[in-house]
Amino acid sequence: MEKIKNFIKFIIKIYRFFKIDLILSLFLFHFSLLLNLRKIFSKKLNLRKIVLISEGGFGHTLHDVEMIKLTLKEGFIVVILSEHKRHNWELVKIWKDIKVIHIFKAAPFFSRRTQLLMQKYCSYILYKLTKIYKRKIIEFENNYNKEYLNPENGIVNKLIDKASAFPDYEYINDIKFNWLSYRNQYEGYYAYIFLKNKLKINLVQLEKRIKNNFESNLRKINIKNKQIINIYLRQKGKDNRCGSSIEEWSRVINYLYKKNYFICITGDINIKKFPKSVINKINSYRQFGVSKNIFNICAPYFCNFYISEQGGGSWFGVVMNKPTLMVNCCNFANSAYGINYYLLYQNLKDINTNNYIPLEKSMKEYFWDIDLPKDKLLEKNNSEQIIQGFEDLQSKKKCTLFKEINTDFKYSFGTVSNAQLVSSNVMN
pLDDT > 70? residue 8: yes
Among the listed ranges 23-27, 349-353, 366-370, which one has the minimum average pLDDT value? 366-370
Domain ranges of the chain: 20-199, 212-421
- Structure confidence by residue, pLDDT tens digits, 155-170: 999 999 999 999 999 9
Please tell me the pTM assigned to this model: 0.93
> Hey, is 21 helix, strand or coil?
helix
Judge residue 102's burial from the number of C-beta atoms within 10 Å of its C-beta, 0-12 exposed, 13-18 middle, 19 or more buried.
Answer: buried
**Domain covering 212-421 assigned CATH 3.40.50.2000 in the classification:** yes
Distance CA 78, CA 92 (A): 10
- Listed residue (124, 298, 272) closest to 212, CA to CA: 298
What DSSP string describes 376-418?
Answer: EEEEPPPHHHHHHHHHHHHHT---EEGGGS-GGGTTSHHHHTT
- Residue type at 101 in one-letter notation: I
> How many angstroms separate the most distant Cα atoms in the chain?
68
- Average pLDDT of the chain to the nearest whole number: 92
> What DSSP designation does 303 have?
-
Q: For residue 101, list its beta bridge partners.
A: 79
pLDDT > 70? residue 427: no
Q: For residue 82, list its beta bridge partners.
A: 104
Distance CA 207, CA 96 (A): 9
- Give the helix/strand (H/E) hosting 329: strand 324-329
pLDDT band at 428 (very low <50, low <70, confident <90, very high): low
- Listed residue (398, 410, 381) closest to 422, CA to CA: 398
What pLDDT, on a 0 to 100 scale, did the predictor assign at position 46?
Answer: 63
What pLDDT, on a 0 to 100 scale, did the predictor assign at position 370?
Answer: 78
Query: Which residues, in sequence order, are CB contacts of 298 under 8 Å at separation 6+?
Result: 206, 210, 211, 214, 288, 290
What pLDDT, on a 0 to 100 scale, did the predictor assign at position 383?
Answer: 96
Distance CA 351, CA 48 (A): 56
What pLDDT, on a 0 to 100 scale, did the predictor assign at position 4?
Answer: 85
pLDDT > 80? residue 97: yes
> What DSSP designation does 132 have?
H
- For helices 246-258 and 383-395, what crossing angle results, to 10°? 40
pLDDT > 80? residue 135: yes
Query: Which residues, in sequence order, are CB contacts of 218 under 8 Å at separation 6+?
Result: 288, 302
- Listed residue (348, 323, 318) closest to 335, CA to CA: 318
What pLDDT, on a 0 to 100 scale, did the predictor assign at position 237?
Answer: 63
- Structure confidence by residue, pLDDT tens digits, 215-266: 999 999 999 999 999 999 987 766 667 788 999 999 999 999 999 999 999 9
- Listed residue (270, 324, 308) closest to 292, CA to CA: 270
Q: Mean pLDDT, to the nearest integer, of 258-283?
A: 93
Distance CA 287, CA 5 (A): 30
Distance CA 109, CA 20 (A): 10
What pLDDT, on a 0 to 100 scale, did the predictor assign at position 330?
Answer: 85
- Structure confidence by residue, pLDDT tens digits, 169-206: 999 887 777 678 888 899 999 999 999 999 988 999 99
Question: Please, how many CA atoms are within 13 Å of residue 78, restricted to the half-sphere of its CB?
Answer: 30
- Residue type at 104 in one-letter notation: F
